[in-house]
């Protein structure tokens, strides 16, 4: 199973572009989420660690994210891990990112424990246009 669920804040404004494919075009939007992990140290003190996760959204979801979300905004995403591979000057490179399947816009306000204070009822979903095989199964919980 390849399912990723993250809640974080955008580190910069999303970058959007049009991508051509046989029979048409679609929108792809790239953004980075800063995701916090809270934990207790062995001495009992509280600490947090921030992980920066590259994400990409496609089609109508990509257009909505590009239009309504900006740096600092909170977002809840569900998607899958995707490994991109390419070569530059004979050097093989790769990058792991999250391909977004569903998302929710979250309010800017947070409670003391850095969790969203209220979750919006407006859930945005998108369907993969360029890769129909990438449609994920529903999470069974």
- Provide the pairing of β-strand 91-106 with 46-58: parallel
In 19-125, alpha helices (H):
59-68
Task: Judge whether 36 and 11 are in contact, CB under 8 Å.
Answer: no
Write down all domains in the chain, each with its CATH number in brackets.
4-129 (2.40.50.140)
Query: pLDDT by residue (tens digit) across 34-84?
Result: 999 999 999 999 999 999 999 999 998 999 999 999 999 999 999 999 999
- What does the pLDDT read at residue 109? 57
β partners of residue 91: 88
The mean-pLDDT minimum among 3-7, 29-33, 38-42, 111-115 falls in 111-115
Cβ count within 10 A of residue 106: 21
Give the global pTM.
0.73
- What does the pLDDT read at residue 74? 96
């Amino acid at each position: 199973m390849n399912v990723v669920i993250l809640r974080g804040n955008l580190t910069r404004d999303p970058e959007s572009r049009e991508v051509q494919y046989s029979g048409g075009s679609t929108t792809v939007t790239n953004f980075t989420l800063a995701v916090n992990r809270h934990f207790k140290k062995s001495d009992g003190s509280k600490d947090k660690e921030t992980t920066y996760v590259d994400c990409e959204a496609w089609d109508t979801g990509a257009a909505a994210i590009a239009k309504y979300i900006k740096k600092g905004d909170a977002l809840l995403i569900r998607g899958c891990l995707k490994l991109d591979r390419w070569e530059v000057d004979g050097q093989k490179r790769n990058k792991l990112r999250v391909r977004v399947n569903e998302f929710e816009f979250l309010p800017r306000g947070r409670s003391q424990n850095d969790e969203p204070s209220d979750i919006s009822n407006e859930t945005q979903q998108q369907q993969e246009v360029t890769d129909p095989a990438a449609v994920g199964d529903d999470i069974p919980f």
